[in-house]
Chains A and B, each alone.
Chain A
Amino acid sequence: MIRAISSFWARHQRKISPYLFVAPFFILFAVFLVYPVIYSFILSFYDARGLGARTFAGLENYRELLIDPRFRKAVVNTTYYAAGSVFFLSPLALLLALALNTAWLKLKGLFRVAFFIPVITSEVVVAVMFTLVFEQDYGLLNALLRSIGLDPIPWLRSPAWAMPSIILLGVWIWAGLNALYFLAGLQNIDQEYYEAAAIDGANSLQLFRYITVPLLKPVILFVVIQAIVGSYQLFTQPWILTSGGPQDATLTVTMYLYLQAFRFFNLGYASAIGYALVVIILTLSLIQLIGFGTFRREDA
C-alpha cells in the first residue's frame, strides 16, 4: 500500500507539487470567500429567521425588497452620499491637487503628509472624534459658525443635515488621498504639451480643458469608480455618528443589511440585500466603464 503511494508520488511529483504550493491560498479563499458568497446566495431564497428550520421562499425576499420602503430609503441615502463624493469630493480633490502642483506653493511635503493622516487613522476613531465636531451645543463646527455670527446647525440631529454631515466627514477623510492620486496623474503629464499650447496662445482654462482633463482621464476614472464603490459600502461613519438616524436619514444599504442580519436576525432577507447591492455596484461600474470608453479599442 505504502509502496504504491510512494511510487505514484515519485511518478507525479513534478505535476502535483506546484498545486500543493498554491493550495493554501485557494483553500483559504474557498473557505472564507467562495463558500460564503455561494451560501449567502442560496440563503437569499430562504425564509431564514432566527435559529431552527428554514423554509424555501423562492423570490419572496427579493419581492419584499422591491416594496420595502426602508430599503428604498437606504438606496436613496447611499446614492446621495455617492453623488456627494463624485460631484463634491472628487472635484475638490482635483482642485487641491492642482494647487499642490503649482510651483509657488511652499511646504508641499507637509501637505502631503497631512492629507494622509485621516486615511491611516482608524475610521472608528475618526467617527468618534467627529461626534464632538458635529455636536450641536458644544461642537467645534457650531462654535466656528457662532464666531462668525451664524446660527448653529443641528448637524446630526436633523434629518436634513445628517447626510451632508456624513459627506463632510467623507471629504475630510478622503479628499486628501484622492488629491494625491490626481497629483500623481498631473505629474505624469508631459510639460511639453503645456508649453506647445501656451505658444499657440491657449489660456489657462483651455490648458485645463484640452490638456489636463483628457490626459488625466484614467486617474479620474479610477477615483470616480473608487468613490462610487466605496460609497455604496458606507457603514462605519454613519453607524457610529447616527446609527442610521435620525429617522433613517443616514441609513445606508450595508447598514440595513447589518440591521436585518445581526439585529433582526433575518438572515435570508439580509442575504438578498447583499445581492441587491452587488447588482447595484456592478451596474454602476459598467455604466461608468462604458461612459469613459474603456471598452473602445485604443486604435479605433
Chain B
Amino acid sequence: MKAARWTLVWLLVFLIAFPIVATAQTLEFWGFADNRNKWYEAMAEEFKKIYPNVTINIRSFPYEEMHNRLLTALVAGIGAPDIADVEISRMGQFVKGGEVGFVPLNNLIGDEINNLYTGAATAPWTWQEQIYGIGNELNAVLMFYRWDLYENAGLTGPGSTWEEFIENGKKLASTGVKALAINDQGWEYWWIIASAGDGFFDSEGNVAADNAFGRKVMQLLYDMLHVHEVAMFAPLDTAYYGAMQAGDFAVHMGAPWYQGFMKDNAASLEGKWKMQPLPVFADGTGAPTATHGGTGTVITKQSKHADIAWEFIKFANLTVEGTLRAFDMANLFPTYTPAWTDERLYRTDDYFSGQRPAQIISEVAPLIPPLNNSPYWPEVTDAFTRLVVTPVLQQTTDIDRAFADFRREVDRIIR
C-alpha cells in the first residue's frame, strides 16, 4: 500500500516536471577563437532574455581539435553540435565530396542578404551557390605603419603605390629599419596583395595562383627582400612581436582582428601606429584592401533545432546591437551594413594615434576583391607555400620553376 502511494507521488512529480523539461532546450555551440566565444557567450545571455527556455551552451576547443571533432562528428553522423564556428581556411574541406554537413542558409537569410557585405559575410562559406555559413567580420586588410620610424627617415608614410613603397623603404632602410617583415613559411602577404587578381582560385573554382598577376606579386615580394633590400624575413611565431617592438620593421598588413592581436602582443607601441589603405601598383593594378582570415557560423544538419539555432545566429550576426558588441569586444568590424551608420563604430583608437579605423575600413570595404573558395583550398594553399613561397624567397629556385612545380602539383591534387 505504501509502495503504491509513493508510485503515485512520483508519477505526479513526473507529470508536472515533464512539460517544463521538454520545452527547455539546450543548443550546443562549438567554437575555437577566444575573442569570438566571449562575444557569443555574451550574446547567449542576451538571447536568454528573449527565449528563457533556450540555453546556448558555448563550448571552446583549440583550433585544430575543434575542426577535427566537427569533421569526425559529421562523418560519423552523430555527435555534432547544433551550431559551430568554421574558420575560413578550413571551410574548403567541409564542402568536399557529394554532401555538405551544414544547413543551407539562403532561404533563412532571405532579404537580409541586401544588408550584408556578402564578400566577407557569405562568400567564403558559399559553395555551389549554397550559403552554409555567415561571418560577422569584415576583414578588410589595411596597412599599419609606424609613423615615428618613417618620420625618423624624413618620410610621412609608406606611400600609395608599391613603387613608392619601395623607394620610401630604401630611405627607411638607411636608418636601419626594414619596411616589411615577410614570412617565408606562409602565404599571407602574397594572398593579401594577389587577391586583387583572383588569388588562389578564380570564380569558376580553377586554380589561378599562377596567373600573370600572381607571378607579379611573387616577384614583388622577392624584389623587396633580395633586390631592393627593404624587407627582412619575418621572425617565426611570437618572435615576430619581439622584432615589431624592437622597431626592426615598420609595416604590418592585417585585418581588423589583427589590431586586437597587436594591442595584446605589442602594447608598448600604443600611439606609434597609423593605418592606410594598401598600396597599388603604379599601373593601376592591385586593390587598396583584401580579406584575410575570418570565421563563419554554421548550423549542422544533425541539429534538431535548426530553427532556434538560426534565431540565435541571426540575433548575434544580423542585428546592429549584436555586431557592434563584437566590434566593441574584439575589434570585429561588422559585415552587417546597417551597423555602419552607427556612430559607436567610429570611435577613435589611441593605439592608432587617434585615427578612426572604421572610417578607413568602410571607405575601402566596397573594394575588397572577392574570395573564391574551393574544396581544394587546404591542399592548394599548402602546396603554394612549400613549392612557391619558401623556395622563391629562400632563393633555392627561380620563380618560373617554382610556378611550374606548383602547377604540376595542382594537377596531381585535383583529379
B-contacting residues of A (Cβ < 8 Å)?
Answer: 49-53, 131-132, 135-139, 156-159, 242, 245-248, 259, 262-265, 267
Instruction: Confirm or deny: B16 has a beta carbon within 8 angstroms of a beta carbon on chain A.
Output: no
A245 touches B390 (CB 8 A): yes
The contact string, 1 if C-beta is below 8 Å from chain A, for chain B 212-224, is 0000000000000
CB-nearest residue of chain B to A240: B237
Known: A51-B99, A246-B390. A265 touches B93 (CB 8 A): yes
Instruction: List 8 A-B pairs, Cβ < 8 Å.
Output: A49-B97, A53-B99, A132-B238, A246-B184, A247-B396, A262-B67, A262-B71, A264-B379
CB-nearest residue of chain B to A124: B62
B93 touches A247 (CB 8 A): no
B390 touches A247 (CB 8 A): yes
B101 touches A137 (CB 8 A): no
Q: Which of A132, A246, A262 contacts B239 (CB 8 A)?
A: A132
Which residues of chain B are near A49, meaning CB under 8 Å?
Answer: 96-97
Which residues of chain A are near B185, meaning CB under 8 Å?
Answer: 157, 242, 245-246
Shortest A69–chain B CB gap in Å is: 9
A265 touches B96 (CB 8 A): yes
A259 to B238, CA, bound (A): 24
5 nearest A-B residue pairs (beta carbon): A50-B97, A50-B96, A52-B98, A52-B99, A51-B99
Q: Which of B242, B243, B382, B387 contacts A263 (CB 8 A)?
A: B382
Known: A50-B375, A132-B238, A265-B71. A247 touches B391 (CB 8 A): yes
Which residues of chain A are near B375, meaning CB under 8 Å?
Answer: 50
Q: Given A50-B97, A138-B242, A259-B382, list of 20 further CB < 8 A pairs? A: A49-B97, A50-B93, A50-B98, A51-B74, A51-B75, A51-B96, A51-B99, A52-B99, A53-B97, A136-B235, A136-B236, A159-B396, A245-B390, A246-B185, A247-B387, A247-B390, A262-B67, A262-B71, A265-B93, A265-B97
Instruction: Confirm or deny: B138 has a beta carbon within 8 angstroms of a beta carbon on chain A.
Output: no
Which residues of chain A are near B100, meaning CB under 8 Å?
Answer: 51
Known: A137-B243, A248-B386. A51 touches B236 (CB 8 A): no
A-contacting residues of B (Cβ < 8 Å)?
Answer: 64, 67-68, 71, 74-75, 93-101, 184-185, 233, 235-239, 242-243, 375, 378-379, 382, 385-387, 390-391, 394, 396
Which residues of chain B are near A131, meaning CB under 8 Å?
Answer: 236-239
A248 to B237, CA, bound (A): 18
Which residues of chain A are near B385, meaning CB under 8 Å?
Answer: 245
CB-nearest residue of chain B to A158: B394
Which residues of chain A are near B184, meaning CB under 8 Å?
Answer: 157, 246
A53 touches B98 (CB 8 A): yes
B243 touches A264 (CB 8 A): no
Shortest B341–chain A CB gap in Å is: 41
A108 to B70, CA, bound (A): 49
Which of B93, B378, B387, B396 is most buried by chain A, counting CB atoms within 10 A of its CB? B93
Known: A50-B375, A245-B386. A137 touches B97 (CB 8 A): no
Shortest B20–chain A CB gap in Å is: 35
